[in-house]
Chain A
């Protein structure tokens, strides 16, 4: 089995061979564009704004039910752009690889990243590869940065949120973190959950086109609780949600009950929290339900009319109300 060695990161012959023979072909790049030290890309002449984001991926295990670190690295950056109302266009990929990592697995991860980006209409235009001694990283870490264009007239911002707005989630919550949990060593509790890891830019484009979306978030680490808490704080509006309305996959619900976890705090990698004006609620729900990534969408609450203290309140199934704050404990590390 061919393994990555420190020489693959040395800048010498093996580095060049790795880039030319393994990496370029996967990203459909013959090297012709990379005569320079940076990607030089045409900027479409149009009004509007640029959006840029970056994120690093350190998930363990790197292959999990429903995805792998490559797909995650593409989706994460695409989704960060998409929820700002941007059309994602370009992406960079930085790899930090542990000495001894099988080249076969590297190819698998990169194919997955490239395919996900291509499906989302995003070009991987530049990258970097480093190799570190065994034990200094766990298999492979990936950093991606992305650039997208925000069309004129699109302005998704927590400041847009007003009393009476509707709070929607695009599907079942907690699938990604529960999937990663279920495949960690010693935690095979016989529950089949698949990560929701998916690029959301097609769905967000379709939703933003209605003009009814005030603001969106993709609830990754910290879960929907963290997204709602941020939105409430930034808009200084109080958000009220109903526990019973939160869509949950039965296996996630069972896993949470077994492990004492709250699905509101579990990470998602292919879901949206959307704040919508009340007139647009029906149209948004219809569009979500028509899309493969929004079939289980649900209205989970609304922005309060009176209370403007920037809190999130949850009404329990028993009818009691409690405050939703940030997660204080230590959740499972390295879930993304």
Chain B
């Protein structure tokens, strides 16, 4: 199916087409991998309008949500270093660790500053030459290049008091891990538009070819998502398993070569810890040897935190794998709300639990 230009399409017609293509005799489960898609779907109220046997489940594509418990403890520990200013995106502030959060640490005197970009973090390093500025690098292939740029810039300007705690993760290995574990029945994937802008379409091919799952890369307008659902349902109907690109206005097959070049320069692929998954082989980014002086982990002494399992009854891990939907978690809406979150999926603005809480409650 040829992707149509989205701006002129009536979303109600697309919705009708999705209904028509949904098979009558079986349940079809589609995972939206990306947190931004989860929010867009929630905001539109789409779930109420889809046939009951077409299920959309949220995946591991919310960077704050997949941040491992051990990583949370590590950055909370970094916040306690006397000379450190932690620069972080706002979403991490309220992620609960075992006994604290960055917001609580800040209220108790730790220097934690919310920034909106790595440029701001670098500016802090210039502004406070006597302090150590540590940027908390969370995010996928989309944000990692800007972090890489900041390290290159620091190296160029010889800014010695800037470092990064890299918790960056890669999306395609997580999709593969999900499929190889075989715990969840998924019939197809809505793949993230922004991440694909950087990495292109190829990295999803194992999911399509090895695991026979249709994949469609899509944008963030409701028309984009509906159109991608049509493409997925068409593939399922025709028994095809391909990587298709609905988001042609943002994504080409080879990705953004200059952003990939910057990533390659600063980072190398490493195993990473994911909440709910544990260690996934070659699914994260760590600083290369030549940039080691900008690696917060080699600059500061941090105890080794290791959690095999989640420390509270929170089901974020299963929610991130699509095994559970938020209302099935026993803490949801009772012990865990956006005002008093117990897990990161309720903290992050892109988290599945926050999206459900905000958008899927009708009549509350």
Interface residues of A (CB under 8 A from B): 184-187, 257, 260, 262, 309, 311, 316-323, 325, 328-330, 333
Contact = CB atoms under 8 A, between A and B. Distances in A.
Given A317-B44, A318-B12, 19 more contacts: A185-B120, A185-B123, A186-B117, A186-B119, A186-B123, A187-B117, A309-B363, A311-B364, A320-B46, A320-B48, A321-B45, A321-B48, A321-B362, A323-B364, A328-B339, A328-B354, A328-B358, A329-B338, A330-B93
A257 B222 CA distance: 11
Contacts of B361: 322-323
A325 B357 CA distance: 10
A185 B123 CA distance: 9
B359 A322 contact: yes
Contact of A320 (B45, B90, B120): B45
B291 interface: no
Contacts of A316: 43-45
A319 B39 CA distance: 17
The 8 closest A-B pairs by CB, nearest first: A320-B45, A328-B338, A186-B117, A186-B120, A316-B45, A186-B119, A320-B48, A187-B116
A319 B12 contact: yes
Nearest to A185: B120
A329 B339 CA distance: 8
Contacts of B350: 260
B206 interface: no
Contacts of B349: 260, 329
Contacts of B362: 321-323
B49 interface: yes
A299 to B, nearest CB: 21
Contact of A322 (B45, B115, B220, B339): B45
B116 A325 contact: no
A112 B295 CA distance: 47
A11 to B, nearest CB: 32
7 contacts: A186-B117, A186-B119, A316-B44, A319-B12, A320-B49, A323-B364, A329-B349
Given A186-B119, A311-B363, A317-B11, A328 B357 contact: yes
A228 B214 CA distance: 43
B169 interface: no
A328 B359 CA distance: 12
B131 to A, nearest CB: 14
Contact of B364 (A184, A260, A325): A325
A319 B49 contact: yes
Interface string B1-30: 000000000011001000000000000000
Contacts of B42: 322
Interface in B100-125: 114-120, 123
B244 interface: no
Contacts of B357: 328
Nearest to B337: A328
A257 B40 CA distance: 9
A320 B115 contact: no
Contacts of A309: 363
B363 A323 contact: yes
Contact of A317 (B48, B222, B363, B364): B222
B283 interface: no
A187 B47 CA distance: 33
A29 B360 CA distance: 57
B36 interface: yes
A318 B11 contact: yes
Contacts of B39: 260
B149 to A, nearest CB: 12
Contacts of B364: 311, 323, 325
B341 to A, nearest CB: 9
B61 to A, nearest CB: 13
A318 B36 contact: no
Contacts of A319: 12, 45, 49
Query: Interface centre among A257, A322, A330, by most B CB within 10 Å?
Result: A322
A309 B15 CA distance: 31
B213 interface: no
B228 to A, nearest CB: 15
Query: Interface centre among A184, A309, A318, A321, by most B CB within 10 Å?
Result: A318
Contacts of A318: 11-12, 15, 44-46, 49, 222
Contact of B119 (A185, A260, A311, A329): A185
Nearest to B221: A257
A261 to B, nearest CB: 9
A319 B119 CA distance: 41
A152 to B, nearest CB: 40
Contacts of A311: 363-364
